[in-house]
Amino acid sequence: MTTISDENGIINNFAKEPAMYYADAPSSQDKRGYVIWGAIALLVVIASISTAAVVS
């Protein structure tokens, strides 16, 4: 931890910053998985809305 004191004697503690890295672009298999999970989520939302409409 880095500790700095200013001219008024106030102490500030700074946390150690993590190392930065760049994210890799998703592969075509990852993209296909995102589309499949998106479709499943859409079906769940549509089923929930349909159930609520039928029940009410």
Instruction: For residue range 15-45, list pLDDT tens digits in order.
Output: 778 899 999 999 999 999 999 999 999 999 9
Domain membership of residue 40 (yes or no) is yes
| 6-11 average pLDDT score | 81
d(CA 24, CA 22): 6
Domain membership of residue 8 (yes or no) is no
Domain membership of residue 12 (yes or no) is no
11 close to 5: Cβ distance less than 8 angstroms: yes
Domain membership of residue 51 (yes or no) is yes
Higher-confidence residue: 10 or 30? 30
Whether 1 shows a pLDDT value over 80: the answer reads no
Whether 2 shows a pLDDT value over 70: the answer reads yes
Range of the domain at 41: 25-56
Residue 44, both tokens: 């769940």
pTM score of the predicted model: 0.58
Domain membership of residue 16 (yes or no) is no
Q: How many domains does the chain have?
A: 1
Q: Which amino acid is at 51?
A: T
Confidence of residue 9 (pLDDT cuts 50, 70, 90): confident
